[in-house]
Amino acid sequence: MQLFAPAKINLSFKILRRREDGFHEIDTLMAPISLGDELTIESDESESGIRFTTDDPTLPAGEDNLVVRAARSFFAEIKEDPRVRIELRKKIPHGAGLGGGSSDAASTLLGLNRLHGERVAPTRLTSLAAALGSDVPFFLAQSAARCRGRGEIVEPMARLPRLSLLLLKPEFRVSTPWAYRQWRDSRQLPGVDYAPQRWEELVFENDLERPVFEKHLFLAHMKTWLREQPEVAAALMSGSGSTMFAVLREDADADELGARAQAELDPLLWSNAVRMQWSAPGSTGC
């Protein structure tokens, strides 16, 4: 079985409060995008266990990997010894605020459930996903969605515009737990516009820009630069960063903008032109 594990962007991200359980109460609108990882999941009756491989040598291949943890939780749920082979081909960068690990975990749960006859009900699959990470339940919905609670309350949205986007990411990563810890005491930087931006009936805002920009001034500069470009309708950090995304106006040349950003901001910027999806493709064949 071949599966596409899409990345996501946060169109809006509000932190409401720190909860008694240590998590944060959030309200976010997320959408899948056309960038994604690829997974192959196959039954392997010749040998027991979870045989996991990836083309990314920087990822852990053992029990610390979210794909392996997702597979373990699934087989524990159906009370069977695992006999499966999983291959992951990475295209979503790490520490980018694009949800790559969470998407891989959700796709693993969905794929294994299909492979085993849909034996786990959707509500129970959501519980398994929430135990793996706050963003994982969103990817089970395979559509744009409003997510609340700590992310586990997922409300699929009506069709959203399929925006053209440019993703830009510097070489450094941002730790999501660190960004949340800094949120309460963070301050806005002078001269940086954090106000909500409106385009195509959408509102773009992100409460985590405040703590992340305090440490990573380059991201604040990148957002300001993007908003000054004539082909950019809005620019925002996705999740906890370090990816910034630009919403492009009609007929904008994403590749030309990406090349200009590398020339004027940082020649080592990772640049990727994508489309915002309303729904995400799932398995592409068995």
List the catalytic residues.
Answer: 8, 135
DSSP 8-state secondary structure symbol assigned to residue 188: P
Residue 4: C-alpha distances to residues 90, 114, 205, 245, 282 (Å):
11, 14, 28, 21, 6
Bridge partners, 36 (sequence order)? 6
Angle at 150 between CA 149 and CA 156, to 5 degrees: 65
How many C-beta atoms lie closer than 10 Å to residue 151's C-beta? 23
CB 173 within 8 A of CB 96: yes
Bridge pairing between strands 197-199 and 145-149: unpaired
- Find where tokens 């699934």 sit: 74
Residue 261: C-alpha distances to residues 40, 204, 214 (Å):
35, 21, 21
